[in-house]
Amino acid sequence: MNFKLHIWRQPNAKAKGHFETYSVANISPDCSFLEMLDILNAQLSTNPVSHPVCFDNDCREGICGMCGLYINGRPHGNDDGITTCQLHMRRFRDGDEIWIEPWRAKAFPIIKDLVVDRSAFDTIIQAGGYISATPGAAPDARNTLVDKHSADLAMDAAQCIGCGACVAACKNASAMLFVAAKVSHLALLPQGQPEAKQRVKAMVFAMDSLGFGSCSNTYACEAECPKQIKRDNIARLNRQWEAAKMS
């Protein structure tokens, strides 16, 4: 298969970026999207005037959350429930033009080309996205029973890989789904109760102060989440938030 690629190039955070156009030929439909970019980069490496395109990636199997490209107007491209590294060229047609951009959000400044700085997510977790447990003081695991339904819902929420697609998909660049997933995961478990109120307040406060927009309930986040994290978590976050404010 052959493709024409329009890729966002930006040498560093301060520089002005622009689209460059490249072509790649003879790509196998079984090739993954990032392998296609590897092929492009091999081409660019041998050309003294062009530099390979920088993009983040690591596990290449949809779990580390490192990759994330905005492809033809969709975070992680035109398939549901996948990350960019799980997108395959068989999802495109021969001869397609493909527009490739980084996540665009004030809270995720561009570092270089397609690489953005998502450390704001770490800052939100540092504000309270955990249960304080220490190796010396944990009770025997069998003493904590968790009904299967709650455990399953907690796991559904806990699957978030922190890739940032929800922020990139949202017209307000809100981090609501990310925060809601962590708050829900911990609020659904008995172990998470002692810190629940303080957690939701601290995380929401951190989110607001880091430059993420507010949620206007359009749920583009849910539609584009590679782990299909549900909007119900946002409702749960709102309930937690209301309860925390009352106390």
Q: By CB under 6 A, what part of segment 58-97 binds ligand FES?
A: 58-60, 62-67, 83-85
Listed in order, strand segments (DSSP E) in 54-102 are: 70-71, 74-75, 97-101
**Partner that binds at residue 155, options ligand FES, other proteins, none, CB closer than 5 to 8 Å by kind:** other proteins
Closer residue to ligand FES in complex, CB, 196/225: 225
The residues pairing with 4 across neighbouring beta strands, listed in sequence order, are 23, 97
Q: Which of 5, 34, 114, 179 binds other proteins (CB under 8 A)?
A: 34
Find the shortest distance in angstroms from Cβ 93 to other proteins. 16
CB of 231 closer than 8 Å to CB of 181:
no
Task: Report the site for other proteins in 135-154 (rule: CB under 8 A).
Answer: 135, 137-142, 144-148, 151-152, 154
Residues in region 207-236 near other proteins by CB under 8 A? none
How far apart are alpha carbons 84 and 61 in whole angstroms? 9
- Report the C-alpha gap between 181 and 185 in whole angstroms: 6
Residue 4: count other Cβ atoms within 10 Å of its Cβ.
13
CA distance 241 to 221: 20
Range 183-212, binding other proteins (CB under 8 A): 185-186, 189, 191-192
Query: How far apart, in whole angstroms, are the C-alpha atoms of residue 107 and residue 179?
Result: 14
Q: How many angstroms separate the CA atoms of 232 and 80, rounded?
A: 19
Question: In the block, which residue shows the tokens 């970019």?
Answer: 37
Interface region with ligand FES, contact rule CB under 6 A, candidates 53-61, 131-139, 177-185, 205-213:
53-61
Indicate the residue among 145 and 246 with the shorter CB distance to other proteins: 145
Is residue 63 near other proteins by the rule CB under 8 A? yes
Question: Taking the complex as a whole, how short is the minimal distance between the CB of residue 142 and ligand FES, in angstroms?
Answer: 34
Residue whose CB is less far from ligand FES, 158 or 244 = 158
Q: Report the interface residues with ligand FES, using CB under 6 A.
A: 57-60, 62-67, 83-85
